[in-house]
Structure formats: C-alpha cells, structure tokens
Amino acid sequence: MKKYTTLLFDADGTLMDFKKSEAQALDQTFRKYGIHPTREILDLYADINHGLWKDFENGLIDKDTLVTSRFQLLFLELGLDIDGIAFEADYQPALGRGAFLIDGAYDLCRVLKKDFRLYIVTNGVSSTQYSRLSATGLDALMEDIFVSEDAGAQKPQKDFFDYIAARIPGYDPSEALVVGDSLTSDIQGGINAGIDTCWYNPGREKNLLNIHPDYEIHTLEELPALLKR
C-alpha cells in the first residue's frame, strides 16, 4: 500500500451518527410547533431533503436554497401554514446539540493521530458542524475542519478539495486518503480531486454505481490495519 500521511475524514455517517442527531432534532422541533412527527411526515421530509442534497452535491442549488426550502416544501405538501424558514432556524441549533459518535470513532482517531494528520471534510452548515464536532471531542483530534459552507463549494466538487489543498501545510494529494460513507459525495469527490479513497460501508451495500473506491471497509476498526499494509 502507498504511504499515506494525511487522512481526510467525512463527518456524518463516518465518524458521527447523523441519523441519530437528525431524528432527535426533528422530533424536538416538530413538537415545538405542535406537530406529532408521524412516520409519514418523517418519510416525506426525508424524500424532500434527500433530493435537495443531491441537487446540492451536483451544484444545481446552493446551501442557502437547500436549508430555506426543505421545510417550506414539506409544509406546502402537508397543507400546513407554518413558516419553513423559521422552523429551519429552530431546527439547526437542535441539530447542533446532537453529538453522537459512530461506535469506535473517537478511539480510532485518537490512535491514528499518532501517525497521521487528521482532517474533517464535510458538507453542511458551519455553525452546526462545529458545534457537533466540539461536543463529541473530535475537533481536538483534528488538525483542521473544512466545511462546505466556508469553502463556497461542496463534495464532490473539485473546488472543495482545492480549497482544502490550499490550507493544509505541505499538502501532497498523493499522500492523502479520503475516508467516507458516501459514494456520490466522498468517494466521487476524492476521485475528482485525484485523491485515493476508502469507502466506509458498514451496511455492506452493493455498489451499483460507476464509482470505484480504492479500498472498502465495513467497520472503522479495519482502517488501521489497512493503513499498515
């Protein structure tokens, strides 16, 4: 295996349990507005949000459009007279308080920090991501944290990784490895930037896309051994 010096970790779904944070934040915010979050409502929101995030990844919309429209579209579909922008303003702080780690993530980073430079590369709202990373303690293990909102570009766009490259001292893409759970965001982003990639695939999902990571792991515990090959 090549000798890597720099590990670029995705945050949500790789080191942090976003689904748990999201579920808690949605439940709290819906109830604040007097709405019982039924499975039907949550599934409808998930479909709307997923579609907007795909548009965001593909550069079709910007972050502001994503976060200002998702709840507006949801309440329009549900026929509810609720201000989606105000709802989003309450949802983001609730999401920021959702600090849940993937099992083994903190110990993994603590061990890897001894031999590698660790960075977070994440799409999202800066204030929310910084809050969650700080609450988990992961921020203290990282050399730096790069969020799409600050970069003005997002994974999988090459511009996002160019932004990172300009801010990592002595950065050499041939010595970097992207580690993430999303083929379309993390792995495609690494490919676009000419960086090796490792797909974290805990669900052992079948790769049906024409996106080919250099490595694949199913648990975080596999990563140190892979890096020592």
**Can you give 58-111 as a three-state secondary structure string?**
CCCCCHHHHHHHHHHHHHHHHCCCCCHHHHHHHHHHHHHCCCCECCCHHHHHHH
Question: Which member of 10, 12, 181, 196 is catalytic?
Answer: 10
Residues constituting the chain = 229
86: number of Cβ within 10 Å: 11
104: number of Cβ within 10 Å: 14
DSSP element (H, E) containing 26: helix 18-32
Active site residue 55: no
Instruction: Answer for the pair 44, 73: CB distance below 8 angstroms, yes or no.
Output: no
Q: Any idea which residues carry the catalytic annotation?
A: 10
